[in-house]
Structure 1
Amino acid sequence: SYSDDIVQLRWTGESRGRYDWMSSVKVVGDIELPEYRFVKLETKTEVTVWNTGNYSTLVVRFIFARHLTAYLVNTYIPSSLVVVMSWLSFWLDINAVPARITLGVTSLLTLVTQVVQSRSAIPPVGYVNALDIWLFVCLNVVFATLLEYAIAYTISLKTKPNKIGVNPLAGKYFGNFDKKNPEKNDRNAIANSTKTRSPTQAWTNPNIGHANQTIEKPSTRNVSKVDLFSRVIFPTCFASFVIVYWVYYMYDY
């Protein structure tokens, strides 16, 4: 109730006096918070300006740091594993549409659930905190994985089917072709056609009488060049973000 020209407040120890041997703020050492650890406190003196005059004010600032163990176990490590799990689609066949879409959508929904749970576990604030940045980047990485598959699948549709034209009587599957004895070739073809064929041999027409038939090449795993590029660029970018993130936020911890 007195302006600073009448009363000036000071913390103990800032000026010489009979109470300088006492500490300005005494912290009880046996009190601990479940989610925070006490780092330090800062004391200062300010002058507050009001319409009725200037008033001396004492300010104490308590600085706390969160315990990271619970957040690492409940948020950071699970979200990182979900992001890595979404990258498994890069090693799946480009034609495995249900598998790759299900893997990406499941990873995305899991991260959305983690975002909702993390927001309910911390006090509501009007600014973006470190946990929000982490989960936002994880969501974008998983979404980029789905976008990458859409691009890779579109490119694969533009490629021609891998087929080869062969003469079934030319000896590729039925033995040697004898030009001097055509009847022998027919007998060999009929005899060999009754044998058990390999599951990888796909016949478009089993009739022996056609001279030129289109036979599909044995099916192989179709790997897109976009997937090969993503196997390197996605882990590299995410690892770079993780390093920058922890170095920045752990600098003053």
Structure 2
Amino acid sequence: MFLLNVTSNYQVPNLSIFTLIWGIAEAISLSKRIDNTNFDIYSDSNNESINNIWNEHCDYVSLDVLSQTILDEIFTSDYNKNTVPMKKEVNQVTIEFVIQSIAQVSEITSSFTVDVLFSQIFYDPRLRYDHMTECLQNLTLGYKMIDKLWLPNVCFVNSIKTEIHNSPTPNIFLLLYPNGTIWINYRLQIQGPCAMDLSLFPFDSQNCELIIESYAYNSGKVSLNWRSWSPVFSIGKSKLADYSLHTIQWNKHSFEYAAGSWDQLSVTLTFCRSYGFYILQMYLPTYASVMISFINFWIDIKGLPARISLGVSSLMALTFQYGNISKSLPKVGYVKSIDIYMVVTTGFIFMSMIEIGVVCFVDKKIGNKRKQIENEKKKKRLEFFKNSNNIGRRKKGAVIKSLEKNDSIVFSGNYDDKENSFVITNSENNVETKLENDIKRNSISKHYDNEYSSMDPFHALAAFSMTYESQDNDVDQFYWTGEKIDDICR
């Protein structure tokens, strides 16, 4: 009675107890049948029995158990990772190159650093498991399984450094298809070379090339090929602080070694330099320095210290600016475009300094020449005054003895405010006659008024014209002057 009451109170909705017990028993029986079966992947009878068992019960069998069973059967057979999969045919390897990000492009080391997703796809018939089951479309394996597989030994032969990312474990993706096709993907950081050509710096573009090759197998064993659709592309940012990725090119060619011919796949990345930094930090400041140095042409010639200071400051600023740019560039043996630009701008400032020296030299020469001319004019005026005074004395009745041929006149005294005495000496008779000149002469003033008053009007007018010759005549006789040179430079 008690049993009947319990049975009537406990009910499982929509599921009979008999069906549940039968399902558990069937699963246990199937598991024992699989564990007790010895699989031989090269036996058609066993393969047929495996397919019948697994295909019939795909919904019930654990896929993890099935995957492990397949792997155990593959690698416990006669699989040898040291031999090529197909000995009578060339093993085809398909390559995919995906740019994840570009870290840097360095002119100093002539290299670039890039993160890529590098894929190798090849066929190994020894890894087929499509004859075992149809329950698995593919097998995703861990990175440790790489050590158990044959690999085509594909590498970047011209790379400076290549590393597999470890975050936190090696970033390796391994996929095995039922027909024996293997897809291996690596996340790599590659530092490759760049053939830097800085002839057009900073308006240059650089080509960086990576060469992919099977290091261990020549083209008779392993053939490398690009994937037929978009084998190389970028999924990350392609613009750096000083460069931008312009184009990506890929190609295939062969290279002859002593051991034979090897297939090579090349990837060429073209980077264009962003020159905005150099316009702001180089070109505009140098333009300003040159323009400031040209202000010298508007400064007066007498302001020599100001002109020299302005030119020297402009030259020092230009040199300092070029030094900052040169620090980020390698030492090359050819001329860059920025070198030509700097030579030209430095030449402008240097020529402005030369112009200052030329102007000062010409101005000094003209000044000396003017002094020399002025001294000669003073001498002529003194001689003219002397002759004019003698004529005036004769007209006023001064007694002068007629001199014979051998007589000589000796003037004692100077042209000053004191009275002058003249001694007339006869060389034959040694007779001296002294004439006391009571005529007083005033000192030569700036305007020569007193001298003109002692002369007759005709001689006074002649002396005045000689004294006050136009100063412009002195300037006109010099073709090159400092002012004229400055005008030409302006």
The TM-score bracket by the shorter chain reads: 0.5 to 0.7
Structure-2 separation of matches of 1:77 and 1:68: 12
- SS of the equivalent of 2:485 reads helix
Q: Which runs of 5+ in 2 are unaligned?
A: 1-215, 378-444, 453-463, 472-480
- SS of the equivalent of 1:44 reads strand
How do residues 87-126 of structure 1 correspond to structure 2 at under 5 angstroms?
87-120=294-327, 122-126=328-332
Q: Which residue of 2 aligns with 1:224?
A: 483
Q: Which residue of 2 aligns with 1:196?
A: none
Contact 2:362 2:482 in 1 (8 A): no
Q: Which residue of 2 aligns with 1:9?
A: 224
Contact 2:360 2:482 in 1 (8 A): no
Q: Could you report, residue by residue, the CA deviation over 1:69-89 in whole angstroms, capped at 9, with x for unpaired residues?
A: 221111110111101111111
Q: Which residue of 1 aligns with 2:248?
A: 41
Q: 1:46 to 1:97 in 2, by over 3 A?
A: farther
Q: Could you report, residue by residue, the CA deviation over 1:86-122 in whole angstroms, capped at 9, with x for unpaired residues?
A: 11111222332211111111111111100111112x3
Output the amino acid matched with 1:129. K
Q: Could you report, residue by residue, the CA deviation over 1:199-227 in whole angstroms, capped at 9, with x for unpaired residues?
A: xxxxx96997676778997xxxx753322
Structure-2 separation of matches of 1:67 and 1:149: 39
Output the amino acid matched with 1:124. P
Structure-2 separation of matches of 1:50 and 1:227: 70
Contact 2:251 2:265 in 1 (8 A): yes
Output the amino acid matched with 1:225. K
Output the amino acid matched with 1:65. C
Q: Could you report, residue by residue, the CA deviation over 1:113-166 in whole angstroms, capped at 9, with x for unpaired residues?
A: 00111112x34242433333322321122112212222232223332449999x
How do residues 72-91 of structure 1 correspond to structure 2 at under 5 angstroms?
72-91=279-298
Structure possessing the higher relative contact order (Cα contacts under 8 Å, 6 or more residues apart): 1
Structure-1 separation of matches of 2:222 and 2:298: 75
Structure-1 separation of matches of 2:331 and 2:223: 35
Q: 1:51 to 1:210 in 2, by over 3 A?
A: farther
Contact 1:93 1:223 in 2 (8 A): no
Bigger proportion of residues as strand: 2
Structure-2 separation of matches of 1:5 and 1:154: 82
Q: Which residue of 2 aligns with 1:146?
A: 353
Contact 1:90 1:228 in 2 (8 A): yes
Contact 1:86 1:142 in 2 (8 A): yes
Structure-1 separation of matches of 2:345 and 2:266: 40
Output the amino acid matched with 1:45. K
**Of 55, 67, 74, which residue of structure 1 is paired with 2:262?**
55
Q: Could you report, residue by residue, the CA deviation over 1:41-78 in whole angstroms, capped at 9, with x for unpaired residues?
A: 12222333433333222221111222222211111101
Contact 2:238 2:244 in 1 (8 A): no
Structure-1 separation of matches of 2:335 and 2:235: 32
Contact 1:115 1:135 in 2 (8 A): yes
- SS of the equivalent of 2:234 reads coil
How do residues 182-221 of structure 1 correspond to structure 2 at under 5 angstroms?
none
- SS of the equivalent of 2:226 reads coil
- SS of the equivalent of 1:226 reads helix
- SS of the equivalent of 2:233 reads coil
In our comparison, the structure showing a higher alpha carbon Rg is: 2
TM-score, scaled to structure 2 = 0.33
